[in-house]
Amino acid sequence: MKKRWLLFLLVLITAISAASIALASSAVTSDGYFDKIKLCGKVRVVEYNADIKVKVVTAFPDLKVKVVDHFPDEIGEWQFVEYGEDFTIQFVTSFPDIKIQYVSSFPGVP
């Protein structure tokens, strides 16, 4: 009986550890990069073949985004443009590369 109980605890701890590691991992690095793309600057929204597929969420984002009109120099500051972009995004509802949350202050990696 004791061995079964210990085996059960070991399996439970392993499962919880694996789940927490999977939830804690993010596609955005701590310094604000996704796949060698610095997540600030001029952004163009496209329908197909985007550099990054983005899902807008209200909780637990990979990146907090503040939309600005000029000088998007800090991580999380995006200026939406029609041409001259630094990278392109496509808004999706499933299978995103990153999840963003729009904020009015304190943009960046949470």
Confidence of residue 15 (pLDDT cuts 50, 70, 90): low
Q: Per the domain annotation, does 86 fall within a domain?
A: yes
Torsion of CA 54, 67, 38, 91, to 10 degrees: 10
Domain extent for 88: 27-102
Q: What pLDDT is attached to residue 26? A: 79
Over the stretch 69-90, which tens digit does the pLDDT of each residue have? 999 999 999 999 999 999 999 9
Q: Per the domain annotation, does 15 fall within a domain?
A: no
Q: Per the domain annotation, does 54 fall within a domain?
A: yes
Q: Per the domain annotation, does 44 fall within a domain?
A: yes
Q: Per the domain annotation, does 3 fall within a domain?
A: no
Q: Per the domain annotation, does 98 fall within a domain?
A: yes
Confidence of residue 24 (pLDDT cuts 50, 70, 90): low
| Domains held by the chain: number | 1
